[in-house]
Amino acid sequence: MERIGVAAEDVAARHPGPRVPTSAAAARGRVQYLLAGRHPAPGVDPRDDLTLADILLVTSELVTNAIRHGGGVTGFSAAVSGNDLLLSVSDDSDELPRTVTHSDAAGRPAVGGYGWPLINRLSSDVSVVPGAGGGKTIHVVVPLG
């Protein structure tokens, strides 16, 4: 299994900067680095373009949700196992992710609420594990093809 995010020295060697990504773009960069060479160049095989887009969308949504709703990313791991990408993102919030209805009580459209359903739709497995000292880690499995 190839991993990014487990050993501090591994992360520092491959990705100078903070141990955990502080933005969705930084997390996507780590995942792209991990997957480099596993997929043809963009445009060569449209299925691979879609797979990579799905993977990067799931990565972005997990990290953005941790930043927006969880007080920031406290842990991040990306690994390839067989034909799957395993992603784990931790934050300090005990609140579980939820799907938001897309209108408020007055019937006005609500903003947001699309990320969690997308994560569940594009992942073959999703689990939320409460942290021993609080917070949570969300683990997802995204097929690589």
Give SS3 for 23.
Answer: coil
What mean pLDDT comes out for the span 34-43? 67
**What pLDDT does 13 receive?**
40
Which residues lie below 8 Å from residue 145, measured CB to CB, with a gap of 6+?
Answer: 47, 48, 51, 83
Which domains does the chain show, CATH number per domain? 2-143 (3.30.565.10)
- pLDDT above 70 (res 41): no
45: left (phi over 0), alpha (psi -120 to 50) or beta: beta
E strand spans, 10-83: 73-81
User: DSSP readout, 63-103?
Assistant: HHHHHHHSSSEEEEEEEEETTEEEEEEEES--PPP-PPPSB
**What pLDDT does 111 receive?**
65
**What pLDDT does 145 receive?**
77
- Distance of alpha carbon 145 from alpha carbon 143, whole angstroms: 6
- pLDDT above 80 (res 5): no
Mean pLDDT of the chain: 82
**What pLDDT does 64 receive?**
95
| Closest among 19, 136, 37, 24 to 80, alpha carbons compared | 37
**What pLDDT does 11 receive?**
37
User: DSSP readout, 109-133?
Assistant: BPS---HHHHHHHH-SEEEEEE-TT
pLDDT in tens, 7-36: 333 333 454 456 899 999 999 999 998 888
